[in-house]
Amino acid sequence: MKGFLKILLHLLVVIVLTIVTQVGGIIYLIAILSIKRRSTKRRLKKVALFCGLYFLTTFLLVPVLAPLFGREKIAESKTVKAHSFFYKLANRNYVEPELNKIIFQVANELNQKHPELQFVYLDANFPFIDGFPLLPHLSHNDGKKIDISLVYETKEKILSNKKKSISGYGTYAAPEQNEYDQIAVCKNKGNWQYDFPKYLTFGTINDDLILSKNGTRYLANSILKQKQVGKLFIEPHLKQRLKLNNSKVRFHGCQAVRHDDHIHFQLK
């Protein structure tokens, strides 16, 4: 029974690591199978070997192999950065080359208009295999999609690169009294998951920040100008508030989750 529980635990770890990082499950199996059963300090050696192999694979091997699957790591610079190191550590920062070019162009345009701002991205795609799900997203599985953060400002109207949650998700620019409330509509239809990202903040921070309408509008319009961008998803009340009238701005559907904590855009 004890042996069965150990196998079950290892299987659970493999599944979780695969869901979160795509490659972590395989690396975990290699690590636990590489240390002999009678080895002293076996558990410590397995952990050390896994961590070493994972870092080497993620930061040295995966970037070399990803282009074979038509993807490349998001090119970070002074104008482009991940909101959290987690997105890079978990291999969630891969896109098709065309999307990488668009990110570079939009980031530079944003920085020219607002030198203090950076293009801050959240989840993009895994490096390998079209159709492999990047949970909890429904569609980030082909290298063509990316989530980016909204732009915030202080009460003194000073633009900031800081965000309102540790993950970048789950803190909402909710509908105001005179705005259409798509969130209530979807939840009343029984789509309980629509509000779920509020549980994925991993902690709220910078409570003094508020949505920058001008900054977020400029960022969204810079994206929409790119010919290869096919769709941009944002919550309907923010589309109204930011006056985003471009036909590429779409409603993502009640089967997804609310988009007043981030912007999603994708290639055609």
Phi/psi at 246 (5° precision): -65, 140
Q: What's the rounded Cα separation, in Å, for the pair 268 and 123?
A: 18
- Domain limits for position 15: 2-67
Which one of 18, 46, 67 terminates a domain? Answer: 67
Number of domains in the chain: 2
Query: Do residue 197 and residue 86 come from a single domain?
Result: yes
Query: Do residue 126 and residue 167 come from a single domain?
Result: yes
Query: Do residue 58 and residue 43 come from a single domain?
Result: yes
Query: Do residue 14 and residue 120 come from a single domain?
Result: no
Q: What is the pLDDT of residue 43?
A: 83
Q: What is the pLDDT of residue 134?
A: 96
Which one of 67, 89, 116 terminates a domain? Answer: 67
Query: Do residue 44 and residue 162 come from a single domain?
Result: no
Q: What is the pLDDT of residue 153?
A: 96
Q: What is the pLDDT of residue 7?
A: 80
Query: Do residue 59 and residue 35 come from a single domain?
Result: yes
Mean pLDDT by 10 residues, the chain (268 residues): 78 96 96 81 87 97 98 96 97 98 97 95 97 93 97 94 96 94 96 94 95 97 97 97 96 95 97
Q: What is the pLDDT of residue 4?
A: 72
Query: Do residue 47 and residue 169 come from a single domain?
Result: no
For the domain that residue 171 is a member of, what is the CATH number? 3.30.1380.10
> Omega into 136 within 30° of 0, i.e. cis?
yes
Q: What is the pLDDT of residue 6?
A: 81
Query: Do residue 58 and residue 189 come from a single domain?
Result: no
